Structure 1
Amino acid sequence: MNREYHRWHSTRLHRDMELLLFGHSGEPVLLLPTSRGRFFQAEDFGLIGAIADRIQGGRYVVVCPDSVDDESWFNTAVHPHDRVARHAEWEQYLLHEVVPLLQSRATGGRLTLAGCSFGGFHTYNVGLRHPNVFQRLLSMGGKFETDEFLDGHHDPDVYFHSATQWLPGVHDGAQLSALQRMELVLAVGEHDFCRPSNEHLSSLLWKKDIAHQLAIWQGGNHDWPVWRQMIQQYLPW
Structure 2
Amino acid sequence: MERAYHKWFSKTLEKDMELLVFGHMGEPVIFFPTRGARFYDFENWKVIEAMREKIEVGKVQIYCVDSIDNESFYSDAEPEQRILRHGQYEKYILKEVIPFIRKQNKDKRLVSAGCSLGGYHAVNIAFRHPTLFTKVVGMSARYDLTISLPFFDDLFDGYFNDTIYYNMPTRFIAMLSDKRIVRQIKKMEIILVIGLEDHFLENNRELSNALKNLKIPHQFYEWNEEAHRPRYWRQMVQIYL
> What TM bracket, shorter-length normalisation?
over 0.9
Offset at residue 5 of structure 1 (A): 0.7
Q: What's the CA shift string for 1:97-127, capped at 9, x where partnerless?
A: 1112223222425211000111111111111
Q: Which amino acid aligns with 1:83?
A: R
1:105: which partner in 2? 104
Q: Which amino acid aligns with 2:6?
A: H
1:163: which partner in 2? 169
Distance (Å, rounded) in 1 between the aligned partners of 2:224 and 2:159 = 36
The answer on whether the counterparts of 2:170 and 2:203 sit within 8 Å (CA) in structure 1 is: no
Offset at residue 38 of structure 1 (A): 0.5
1:26: which partner in 2? 26
Moved over 3 A (4+): none
The answer on whether the counterparts of 1:60 and 1:106 sit within 8 Å (CA) in structure 2 is: no
1:176: which partner in 2? 182
Say yes or no: does 1:185 pair with 2:191.
yes
Say yes or no: does 1:78 pair with 2:77.
yes
Distance (Å, rounded) in 2 between the aligned partners of 1:116 and 1:150 = 21
Distance (Å, rounded) in 1 between the aligned partners of 2:216 and 2:11 = 35
Name structure 2 gaps, 5 residues minimum. 147-153
Say yes or no: does 1:134 pair with 2:140.
no
2:46: which partner in 1? 46
The answer on whether the counterparts of 2:174 and 2:207 sit within 8 Å (CA) in structure 1 is: no
Offset at residue 57 of structure 1 (A): 1.1
Give the SS at the match of 1:152: coil
Q: Share of identical aligned residues, percent? A: 36
C-alpha RMSD of the superposition: 1.2
Name structure 1 gaps, 5 residues minimum. none
Say yes or no: does 1:58 pair with 2:58.
yes
TM-score by length of 2: 0.94
The answer on whether the counterparts of 1:125 and 1:161 sit within 8 Å (CA) in structure 2 is: yes
2:151: which partner in 1? none
* Equivalent residues, number: 234
Residues 142-157 of structure 1: matches in 2 within 5 Å? 142-147=141-146, 148-157=154-163
2:236: which partner in 1? 230
Offset at residue 212 of structure 1 (A): 0.5
Distance (Å, rounded) in 1 between the aligned partners of 2:17 and 2:88 = 13
Q: What's the CA shift string for 1:144-165, capped at 9, x where partnerless?
A: 1111100111111111111122
Say yes or no: does 1:3 pair with 2:3.
yes
TM-score by length of 1: 0.95
The answer on whether the counterparts of 2:42 and 2:48 sit within 8 Å (CA) in structure 1 is: yes
Offset at residue 70 of structure 1 (A): 0.3
Offset at residue 87 of structure 1 (A): 0.5
Distance (Å, rounded) in 1 between the aligned partners of 2:10 and 2:106 = 25
Distance (Å, rounded) in 2 between the aligned partners of 1:134 and 1:106 = 14
Q: Which amino acid aligns with 1:20?
A: L
